[in-house]
Amino acid sequence: MKTFIFSTMLLTVFSAMTLAQGKVEQTILRMEQDWENALVKSDVAALGTIYSDDLNYTHSNGSVDNKKSYIDKIKSGGTKYESMKREDIKVRLYGNTALVTCHWMVNVTADGKKISTDARYLHVYVKKARCGRWSRIRQHGSFRKVLVDLR
């Protein structure tokens, strides 16, 4: 009988953990979709809520931005995302940290040049203890293929 009670308690605990993990994964996936929508619409207010103040973004070309510099590029029109498609999105949870990997195909105009990028990205989210909210602290892209219009 003790074994049955212990097994039932253990099953209940693991079921609750799995359910909670599923909700967190859905939250992160929703943030990813909100991010995509914000980029294509140049919605800097929405990006400001997704990105942590200490964001570090290493672009697939090796350049690095923080939250302010990246949002300023979008706000000024210097960087304009025309379209994007994401595939193979995976979320991994490690306590209060979530990692998202994805295959990302994007068409963007940056500094007057039209660029089509086929890349992989890694987004790192943390749940901030002081506000209980998830935010993206790191973003890293790695080229698969790049096509630049040199006209």
Q: Tens of pLDDT along the chain (151 residues)?
A: 666 565 554 444 444 444 455 899 999 999 999 999 999 999 999 999 999 999 999 998 899 999 999 999 999 999 999 999 999 999 999 999 999 999 999 999 999 999 998 999 999 999 987 888 999 999 999 988 656 665 5
Q: Which residues pair with 45 in a beta bridge?
A: none
Task: Print the domain residue range for 32.
Answer: 2-148
pLDDT of residue 19: 42
What is the Cα gyration radius of the chain?
A: 19
Count up the domains in the chain and report the number.
1
98: domain CATH number is 3.10.450.50
pLDDT of residue 10: 46
- Integer distance in angstroms from the first to the last C-alpha of the chain? 77
pLDDT of residue 132: 87
- Helix, strand or coil, per DSSP, at residue 6: helix
Q: 116, exposed or middle or buried, with CB in 10 Å at 0-12, 13-18, 19+? A: middle
